[in-house]
Each structure stands twice: as C-alpha cells, then as structure tokens.
Chains A and B, each alone.
Chain A
Amino acid sequence: MGSNIKIRFRIILYLLVMILIVLILRLYFLQIMSGELYAELASKNITREKTVAAPRGNIYDQNGKLIVGSVPVTAVAVEPHIVLKNEDVMKALSDCLDMSYKDIKEKLEKSDVSYIDRVILKKDIDAATMIYLKENSSNLPGVEVVDVYWRVYNFGVLASHLLGYTGEITEDMLKSEKYGDGYEGGDQVGLTGLEETYESVLKGKKGKIVYEVDPLGRPVNILEETSPTCGNDLYLTIDIDLQQFVEKILYQSILGVRQKKIKNTDECYNVPGGAVVVLNPQNGQILAMASYPTFNPELFVGGISQNDWDNLNDPENYYPLNNRAVMSFFPGSAIKIVTAYAGLAEDIISERGRLNCAGVWLGLGKDFPKSCWSSHGSLDIRGAIKNSCDIYFYQVGYGLYTKLDNMEELLQKYLRIFGFGSLTGIDLPHEDKGLVADKEWKKDYFKDQAGYSVWFPGDTVNMAIGQGDLLVTPLQMAQAFSILSNRGIQYTPYIAKEIRDIEGNLFVDNSREEYQDLKLNEYFIEIIEDGLVQVVGPGGTAATAFRNFPLDEIPVAAKTGTAEFYGRQDYAWFASYAPVGSPEYVVVVMLEEAGSGGSNAAPIVEKIYRYLFNID
C-alpha cells in the first residue's frame, strides 16, 4: 500500500475522532448543560393537570330549611382543541349523545379559545351513555366523563331575586383580579344575588388531578390527586314560609289591582311590577324580600337557552330579572315622614301649629299655584300626616328652603340622615342608591341647559311631598321606617347571617350587632308616630285597608304614598311598622302603576301583618 493511501487512512481516523468529539459535545450540551430545561419541558409535554369540581355550598333559610342545594350530575366534557382535530371522535359523540354533528362542531369551535381548556358538551347523561363513553375512552381522546354540580331549587321560583343564579364564567371575569385565582373557563360562578355576593364562600375549593398522557392525550398514569373541598353553606335571615306567603300575596294582589278601573276612566291599572320588603327593625335582618315579576333560577342551570334569555330581557315581560326591592322609584307621600321630622327639628313647624288647607297653595306666588289632592281644612302635624295633606308639607318644604335661603339644603340633609341617596349596604349586588337631588346635582345634570340648572324653591317644595328629583328604593324606605320605629337607631339590613362548613360548624357569624345612633329627637318622632298610627285608623288614608285589623292589639304605624310619574300611572307605596311601642316588623310595599297607595298597596301590608301576627 502506498504511503499516500496510508496518509489518507490517517486522515480518516482523525475525521472519525473529530466526528465522535462533535457528537459527544452535542450530547453534553443537550443532556448535561440543558438537561434540566429539557426535563422540565418533557414533563410539561407529558403531564396534564385537570381540576375536579367542588360542590357549591347550600343555602338555608333562618330555620335551617334547604332552599338551594347542589347535586352531582354526570356530564361529558371535551377538550375542544383535541377533539376538533378528530372527526371520528366528533362523529362518535354525535351518535352516542344524540346531538347533531354540526351542533357539536359549532359548540366546540365557539369554545376553542385560549381561556377554555374543557367545555361541557352535554350534562345529565344516562348510565348507558356513561358506560359506553368510559369503555371507549381510549378511542375518544379529549373526551371525558366528569361530575359537575347542578343547582337545585327546593322552592322553585321563591326568593329568586335574593338567591340569584349561577352561570358560566365569562372571559372578562377570568381576566379580572377578582376571579383571577382558582377559576378556569367553563366554571360556574354566582352571577347575581347572594350567589354573587357570597361567591367566595359558596364556591369551595377545586380538587386537582395530575396525570400523564400519551401523545393522543389519553391518560395513562395518575401522579397526584387532591380531592375537592365543598363550599361553605349560607344560612339566611329569610323565613322561607314568610317569603312564600309574601310572594303569593304580592302576586295575587297585583292580579287583583290589574282588574281595577282607574276612577272616571275605562282604563285598568297596568301594575307591571312590585316589591315587598319585610325586615326586623331590631337588627336589620331581612325576613322576606319579594319582587314581581319573578323568574325561575332553574332556567340557568346548565346554561340558559337563548330563547329563555330573550324572554327574560323582553320589555313586554317587564324585566323579571330586576330586583325591584333595591331599585329606585319616586316615593310619593311616604317620604313625608322625613319632611315632617325636618320641619319639627328645624323649627319650621310646631306640634300645635295649624295650617288651613283650602285645596290650593300659593306659597310660590300666584303664577305657581300648587294644589292638594283634597281640601282638608285646618290641620296640625298629626292631621297632616294622617290625611297626607300636600299643602301642609309644601309649606314645610318652603320653610326649609327659605330658612337659610337653601344654603344648607336642610331637606336634603334630613333625607340623607334617614339613609336616602346612599346604599343601605345590604349584602346584595346591584343595589341602587337612589337620588336625593340638590343644587350641585342639578347644576351638573342640566349643565348643557343653563335655564334649568338653577335650584328653585319649587324644587324643594316638590321634594317635600316625594315628587321631584327624589328616587328611593323600597329597601331604603324600609330602613327609614326602621330608623323611625327605633327612635333613631340604624341597623344595616342584611340577608346572610351565618356561614357554616359542610358539617354545620359555625364558620363565620355574619350577624351584625353594630348599629348607628342617629341621635334623633325622640319627641318629634313620637309626634310623627302619632300621625302614622292615625293613617290606618278611622279617617286615615289607609283606613279602609285596616278597617278589620285588630289595631288595638297590634298598633300599626304607616304611611301611604301615591307617586306621580309623568306619562305613567301613579306608583303606589305603603310603608309601615308594627307593633307600635315595640316594633318587630317593618313592611314596605311598592307597586308600579297601581294608583293610590292607600287603596292598592295597603291591603297587601295588612295581609302580611295578619300572617306575621297570626290573625285570622
């Protein structure tokens, strides 16, 4: 062999050594230098994590009656990004779930977004389907049989506005800080009512399963398993039997009022809706809260259908999702308790001072005559309340305006003291704070119409009888009457009193002992109370409704209200508490477009008192 060839063999030998060095260096880089990185990537590649739904906490009434519970339901969950790639799986699902291929595809395509890992395709599947899916799981990658929890409502539509409903979490919620942790796409969350307020209490803690999958996404091995923790239970101040009675009586009365014809016309009352609040003035506990029209929270279980949702939002149905007890309306004469107190406290009127009501009041000048709904003759403060004389209170309002030339806005000051214009702080979401108009508000509201932006004495005068720019919620009205009945002690109304864990151990005592003493003049309150008692007595504005009520046993203090609403029928109010002396209940009723409070709202309250005090 020539030396040339020997040299070439040597070159090949060097080449071989170099190749080995290059390969070994590459292996060193991959395995030793980046080993940890690749190990992490590899474990991400292989392991999957899935959550196990936790049963949502139950909701009980004050006597421990179960109102809302959670039941496990077998459901089919799919991972859209896996299943969408596999037509066979979608076909198989279409066959066994009795859903069309197109529906499945559409639903999955809609859910194939970054924030949803799994989507519930069908709930409440039968045993045969479940067994079929489990047995064929290896051929159905991305498909899983899971337990989810459904809300069951033992009392159907009862208290639906209080309870609220649950629904699938939205993308915006997932991105928000509140729902940032522990939530994932497809989760059920409380969307309104107590379900929303107490979401963190009710939701429980999800379990977790960490497992390994093969490249097709089929689980092969479980690495770690944590079981879910049940949500805590909520015990309410609500008496569900009372709630049931209140809702029934509200519904029946509204139907009854709708039959009535408006005086001197052929028109009937519309009464699109109404609300009732029953609370305990001694502690602020809401005993019943009703709003009509109502809705069935069961519609939301497992996702509401578009048709149902459209119905709930159709103006023809008067928006049943709205909780009218925390929405604001013109209060009408019911607000006169505050005007009366303000008048007494600011020395505009005295206990004995009388005023002659001739049906017309010219306090604002001859060009602005203001009329009363009747001609009452000579009245003192008690009589003015009993008869709800507008002229008396116009005079009080005007006096409050002129006292300091409305510099201090005295009427507004007392309205705010009684809680109007701000949230009561009840544990319900979407509470309306109402409106107590003042100079600032008017200036801002009419900033583009200079002629209207000035505060006129007439504004205060109107407000004094509950018209004008004054909006209050039935709950605020109940709170104001509660303050009155308590001689100035204010409690924050609330609904959930206890949070207990699954075994019934008290977890959080939510009842609120603290109160605020508004330091009101008790004597002035007693004067007003005298008037309020006469409202239901002979000759009072609600005399008819209470003519058969044993007022001597259960003295009732109440005020009617008939709020005018431009372009609509009058709104009927009736706010009350009983028994006078040791008040146990505050009951407020508000009916939209139902005429006079004395004739149409008062009978509802009378029936509720009969129920509460066990009077036949």
Chain B
Amino acid sequence: MIKRRRKKDFGDFESPDKEKRRIRFDFILFFLALAVSSFGVLMIYSATRETLPGGVTDPQYYLKRQAIWLAAGIVICVAVQFINYRKIQRYWWLIFIIGISFLAAVSLFGYEVHGSKSWIDLKFFTIQPSEFSKVFMVISLAAVMSKWKGEKVYQVTFKKVAISSTVALIFVILVLLEPDYGTALMYFIAYLGLLFLSGANFLYLLSILGLTAGGFFVALKAGLIKQYQLDRILVFLKPDVSSEGAGYNLYQSKLAIGSGDFLGKGLFLGKQTNLSYVPAHHTDFIFSVIGEELGFLGAVLVLLVFGVIVWRCFYIASNSSDSFGMLLSSGIGFIILSQVVINIGMTIGLMPIIGIPLPFLSSGGSSLISMFLGIGLVENVYIWKEVRKDYEIAYQEFK
C-alpha cells in the first residue's frame, strides 16, 4: 500500500488506514426525493381515480403503477451506490453510446404520442429513452469537461468546450428529431449550466448562446420550424389567452390552479382536473392538480421542496472531491431545476406549453426511475467522496 498525502483540495476524508468507514449518506436529499415522489403517487391517484382511460377499470391502476416504479427507482438509487462514480468516468464513451443509441432507437422503432415520437414499446412496458438519456448526457458531459488524465490543473480548454458542445449537440439534435422541444430545451439549459459551473470563460458561454440563436434563426428561415408550431409554443405570451385551440391547455390549467385559492379545494376535490378539463393532468399537468386541490399553500410547499432538492445537489457538487463529481452532481441539479421551471412555468403561464414531466411527481416510470438514478449518482458523489484512495489505487493498477 502506498501512502499518499491527501490533498487539501479533496476534502476531509478520514484516514485510509481505518478499516471502518463512517457511513455518509445525504439523508436530506434522499428523503425529500422519496417524500415528493410518494406525494406524487397520492396526487396521481387523485387525478386518475375518477377519470379512467379506455379499458382501465381499476381506479387504483395509476396509483399501483407509480408505486411500483417508485420502488424500482429506490432500488436503482441504492444499487448505484455500490459502484464508485469515478469508475463511471472512464467508461463515459460507453454511456454516451448507450445514451445516443437509446435516442436513435426511438427514431427507428418508437411510436408517436401527441405528435412526438418519444416512446419505445418493449412489449411488457414502454420506456421513454429521452428521460434516461438526460442522465447519460450529464454523465458524458461531466466526464468530457472534468479534469483529464495528465492534466495538471483543472481548466476548461477550447478542446473541452468543443468536444462537450458536440456531445450536447448530438443529444439535442436527437431529441429534436422526435420532436421533443421541451427535452431539448432542458438539455440545452443543463449544458449551459454545466459550462458555467465548470469555470469556463464567458466568451465560450456567449458563443454557445450566439450559435444557438443563429441556428434557431436559420432553422426558422429554412422552414424546419413552422410558424404555427412557433405560435403554439408562444401562446403563453398572450395575456388574454383563449379557451379554444392552442390556448386551451393553458387556460384550463390556469383556471384549475387559480381557482385553488389559498388552501385549495381539498384532496380529491379538484373539479377542473378530476373532470379532465386539464389535459394530461396526471402527467405533464400534475402541478395543476396540486394547485387546485391543495391551493397556494400546497403549491409553494412543493416548490420549496424542489428548491431544497436542487440546493442539495449543488451543495454536494460544491463539496465534491473532484471535478467529475462536481460536474456530475451539478448536472443532475440543473436537470431537476430546468424541468421544474419549465414544467411549473408552463402550468402557470410563464413558459411555453412544451410537454415535459415534473420530476418525481408526474406519472411515468421512465421519468421517475431516471430521476432516482440521478439522485443515486449525486449520493454516490457524496458517499465516495472520501475514498479517493481506492480510486487512486485502482487507477494506478489500471495504468
């Protein structure tokens, strides 16, 4: 065994000589995620117990499904802890390939729901690969942007920016092909956030923004984005949004949330949502159910819980022992944050209506499981923070 001086940079892990390791686990993050997901199961039950889609007779159908997925999510979250996240960094290319082949598979074998090809039918269940791919993209980006082998000081070079932006662009283009504008926007925000936190020069950030704006303009001019699609997306900007056509969803959602008042109409008592006036009220518009049934109080509480979850991700990131862990944890934080802002913003008329799920709350296995995978990775960064030594040894051996 080679003893190495611990570097000040890498935190306060205890002596490697000690056999016993203190169990470190961020209970705040895990239990808040668990709490908000369980709450989600309840709200999904409230939203679906009366309005059942064709063929479904069990009012607890969605409740049960979501509960099973939650269990699966917890299992995955725990299982992830047995691998040191640092090992993942080395195999990022594998994860990158899995991530993009998932998305490519959707384009090839996927089927359409609401005009977007984002689902794959696996006979027994369907999955939504773009949900998992967001985690894979974060891993890939964190690996590419972190300190490279042989690099003496961590810094973001032009090379890193070029490679990472290419990686991000591949993911974004693949989801745009489905097309899934919401997810693409979320990927884009996550990448920008990572670039910002990596300490990259502002020039890089500005060029990325400029290039994106230019690309968007070209796509609009070239007819890749149709005017009506743009109108539909921008309908939220009109204050007197109509109750018909493109504004219908937003109007109904605002009615639901607005009519909730301070304390809400009570659990299970949301008329707007229970009578299916709000579309997709158990998936993308689950926040409307919360707003209507639990009022301002419930909605703000949910927002604050999300705030703490995101804060924990960034907290763990800022205290991680290496740049990969920092970026990985931040990436997950950005994914959750951007989804919360886009989804809730959409239900209250601050964001365009682009269907993306609300993390932990929306009904759907892919979203829930991938979120717990993300939480698992953040916990992993926290847990394995001290055992750099093992990693170093392994790294040496590998060499």
* Chain A interface residues toward B at CB < 8 A: 1-2, 4-6, 8-9, 11-13, 16-17, 19-20, 22-24, 26-28, 30-32, 34-39, 41-43, 45-46, 212-215, 220
Contacts and interface: CB of A to CB of B under 8 A. Distances in A.
B314 interface: yes
Contacts of B9: 1
A39 B277 contact: no
Interface string B196-230: 11110000000000000000000000000000000
Contacts of A5: 197-199, 318, 326
A214 B51 CA distance: 10
Interface string B97-128: 00000000000000000000000000000000
B314 A12 contact: yes
B199 A19 contact: no
B80 interface: no
A13 B314 contact: yes
B193 interface: yes
Contacts of A2: 154, 199
B375 to A, nearest CB: 17
Contact of A220 (B275, B344, B350): B275
Contacts of A6: 318
Given A35-B261, A43-B259, 6 more contacts: A4-B199, A16-B310, A20-B304, A26-B349, A30-B291, A45-B277
Contacts of B257: 27, 30-31, 38
B299 A27 contact: yes
Given A16-B337, A27-B296, A42 B258 contact: yes
Contact of B303 (A11, A20, A46, A212): A20
B160 interface: no
A38 B258 contact: yes
B271 A42 contact: yes
Interface residues of B, number: 46
A483 B10 CA distance: 123
A19 B341 contact: yes
B262 A46 contact: no
Contacts of A32: 261-262, 296
27 contacts: A1-B318, A8-B197, A12-B197, A12-B330, A16-B307, A20-B307, A23-B303, A24-B300, A28-B296, A30-B257, A30-B258, A30-B348, A31-B261, A31-B299, A38-B257, A41-B255, A41-B258, A42-B255, A42-B256, A42-B259, A42-B272, A45-B252, A45-B277, A46-B272, A215-B275, A215-B276, A215-B277
Nearest to B271: A46
Contact of B318 (A9, A23, A27): A9
Contacts of A31: 257-258, 260-262, 291, 295-296, 299
A13 B311 contact: yes
Interface string B174-207: 0000000000000000000100111100000000
Contact of B348 (A8, A27, A215): A27
B16 interface: no
B216 to A, nearest CB: 23
B355 interface: no
B254 interface: yes
B303 A26 contact: no
A427 B318 CA distance: 94
A332 B5 CA distance: 137
A23 B311 contact: no
Nearest to B333: A12
B326 A1 contact: yes
- Of the candidates B197, B255, B345, B349, the one having the most CB atoms from chain A within 10 angstroms of its own CB is B255
A326 to B, nearest CB: 52
Contact of B258 (A8, A16, A37, A220): A37
B189 to A, nearest CB: 11
A37 B255 CA distance: 9
A6 B317 CA distance: 11
A38 B199 contact: no
A260 B277 CA distance: 77
B113 to A, nearest CB: 19
- Of the candidates A12, A23, A30, A32, the one having the most CB atoms from chain B within 10 angstroms of its own CB is A30
A39 B350 CA distance: 20
Contact of A35 (B260, B318, B337, B348): B260
B361 to A, nearest CB: 15
Q: Which 7 A-B pairs have the closest CB atoms?
A: A38-B258, A35-B261, A42-B259, A39-B259, A31-B296, A42-B255, A38-B259
